[in-house]
Chain A
Amino acid sequence: MDPLVKKYFRQDMLPHIYCPGCGHGTLMKDLVKAVDNLGLEKDQVCVVSGIGCSSRSAGYMDFNTIHTTHGRAIAVATGIKLAKPELRVIVITGDGDATAIGGNHFIHAARRNIDMAVLVFNNNIYGMTGGQYSPTTPMGDFGTTAPYGSIDPSFDIPTLAKAAGATFVARGTVFHTAKTIRLMERAILHKGFSVIDCMSVCPTYYGRKNKKGDAADMIRWQRDHCVDSADAKLMSPDELEDKLIIGETFHRNRAEYTSDYQELIDRCKGGAQ
């Protein structure tokens, strides 16, 4: 057995529920690899998830894990982080969980810049319920609730995160594992609200409904259509037409919420003036 699987996964919880070809297993492995590279204590890592395919991943990992209600992972994580700021809080959520039902918590946690790493396992579809279109289903694409093609414009998660106030924003994919692991490491270390749009693949629903081929075809598409953010700066809009920008897209430092709250407590207690 892979030593990382042995070290970080709950053996008695496996096998996982993911469909053959699902990208979420790769993303789980990327996360434990990032945690391992950083040398974090398992006891100090807290993984909070919502509802959906993405969010079942929390239970497989041997950390302090909590699988919450649909859309509310970031709000639960806010309570955990404020009550115990020493915990490394990592949120695993999906495209629907984070940007539809949980959209309000997503933007407000970003506004506060509370220290947590939010990993959006983005498969462009509601997988758990059987393939309904999500806020990241590209316009015109099909889902079981978009039988004529979706007329809803989609969210670009990194743009949304940056606009709301997130201070570390990036995108990874299941093809670019080395890059995605590095991004996860940086998101966990970053003192503030970090978001990684982790592009997964869902051959079972999104792929099948949209004739994207099998899992390998979908991952190959990622290989052929992703451009690193540094390279993208040198490319024209025409060249970027059908490309997906990956890597770090935004990074800055500003006051973090739990630190500011501690300063407030110190001030109220008459400690630090």
Chain B
Amino acid sequence: MSGKRVLMQGNEACVEGALAAGMRFYAGYPITPSTEIAELSALRLPVLGGHFIQMEDEIGSMAAVIGASVAGTKAMTATSGPGFSLKQENIGYAAMAEVPCVIVNVQRVGPSTGMPTSTAQGDIMQCRWGTHGDHPVITIAPSSVSEVYTEIIRAFNLSEKYRVPVIFLMDETVGHMREGIEIPDPDSYQVIDRAMPDKKGDNWRPFAVDSEKDVPKLPPFGMGWRYHITGLTHDERGYPTSSPEKSAAFISRLMNKLALNRDDIISCDSYMLEDADIAVICIGSIGRSAKEAVNRARAKGIKAGVFRPVTVWPFPDKEVTELAKKVKRIVVAEQNCGQIVLEVERCVRGACPVTFKGKANGSMLMPDEILAAIEGGEN
């Protein structure tokens, strides 16, 4: 159906984009407001020779995704708040064992059961620090249905390329919104599959790399390379180790795998920033309110613009630091009690004032509310 203009829901675009990226395994557990992703996966996957399984719980869903990926299949799960919390241990395992996988979180209001059908952006920090220990993770937050389609493809590509869990951070607004979108032609985007080792030598060490910028080439199980995968800190052979030297080398490589490739991973959207005095920083669906707020501000003669990290983690720190040198003030608008603002303040380092505009009551942050913050009416 490529090249065609269709009316599509964000959750549907997530599935169609994932299938275009090569997703052939889905394990999940029903949870609002992500359920359409499971339903459409159940409908579409068997037709393509793929597998959908409704697991007994969220933990098992994440585990089955890891298993399918280890067997060589591009795998995804989708959930929301409470389910995302339950998946955290195995997300950490995927980071530790370098298992490519995509976890969709359609955010709803928390904490706990919160407001299951209402929109929020309260899981931004959980994406980064939800599982225990230092670990690498990529998070991508789309703001429109068409961006859901293209960015979920990028999520799979980054996951395969860097062998990390990628969290696809939607919010209820993006998940349930319907828009007309142009299905991109498959020639217009790249689909990346994980790299295979060249050949198995006698001293093949599965986790050995030439430099920390490189990613281990781990073959799927059952293809003639027999090796060990563990969530314990391990050496280049994949064997558990408690040596401080090997442990230091391991965690350094794991973290630098993303840090040294950040320019390839980070993607940001800018709107009318060229001459802006005030920059609004936001993610996901709030990008839409922010653009409208900027249009209204411009109509009043205020030079405002929008900076929207599409890659939320790793955070575009250098970009925000540069932005802070160019503008007179930054407004951070988010649907929570203050998460992205902490990163922004860290990167701005006092170079300009930062105003926070948050909202966490289940209703969307509206253009006029952001406009008021641009005009300096609220802090």
Point out residues on A near B: beta carbons under 8 Å: 10, 12-13, 42-44, 46, 48, 58-59, 62-69, 71-72, 75-84, 86-87, 104-105, 107-108, 261, 264-265, 267-269
Interface centre among B67, B68, B237 (most CB of A within 10 A): B67
Decide: A72 and B228 in contact? CB cutoff 8 A: no
A63 CB → nearest B CB, Å: 6
Kindly identify, within residues 166 to 219 of chain B, every residue whose CB is under 8 Å from any CB belonging to chain A: none
Minimum CB distance partner of B73 in chain A:
A83
Known A-B contacts A75-B55, A83-B71; A12 and B237 likewise in contact (beta carbons under 8 Å): yes
Contact A68 B93 (CB under 8 A): yes
What string of 1s and 0s marks CB contacts (under 8 Å) between B38-80 and chain A? 0000000011010101011101110111111111110100000
**Set A42, A65, A78: member contacting B53, Cβ < 8 A:** A78
Apart from the given pairs A78-B60, A265-B46, 16 other A-B contacts in the complex at a CB distance below 8 Å: A13-B228, A66-B229, A66-B230, A68-B231, A76-B67, A78-B67, A79-B75, A80-B67, A83-B75, A84-B71, A84-B73, A84-B220, A105-B60, A264-B46, A269-B46, A269-B49
15 A-B pairs (CB sep. < 8 Å): A12-B239, A13-B228, A44-B222, A59-B230, A66-B229, A69-B63, A69-B231, A72-B63, A79-B64, A80-B71, A82-B53, A82-B67, A83-B25, A83-B51, A261-B51
Is there contact, CB below 8 Å, between B68 and A80?
yes
Cβ of B271 under 8 Å from chain A: no
Main secondary structure of the interface of A (DSSP, over half): helix
In the complex, what's the smallest C-beta–C-beta distance from A27 to chain B, in angstroms? 19
Instruction: List chain B residues, Cβ under 8 A from A48.
Output: 67
Least CB distance from A46 to B in Å reads 5
- What separation, in Å, do the CA atoms of A87 and B222 have in the docked complex? 7
Establish whether residues B68 and A79, one from each chain, have CB atoms under 8 Å apart when the complex forms: yes
Q: Whole-angstrom distance from the CB of B34 to the nearest CB of chain A?
A: 19
Q: Does B221 contact A (CB under 8 A)?
A: yes
Q: Which B residue sits closest to A71, measured CB to CB?
A: B59
Give the distance to chain B from A257, nearest Cβ to Cβ, in Å. 9
* Residue B232 lies at the interface, judged by CB distance under 8 Å to chain A: yes
Q: Per a CB cutoff under 8 Å, which of A65, A69, A71, A83 touches B72?
A: A83
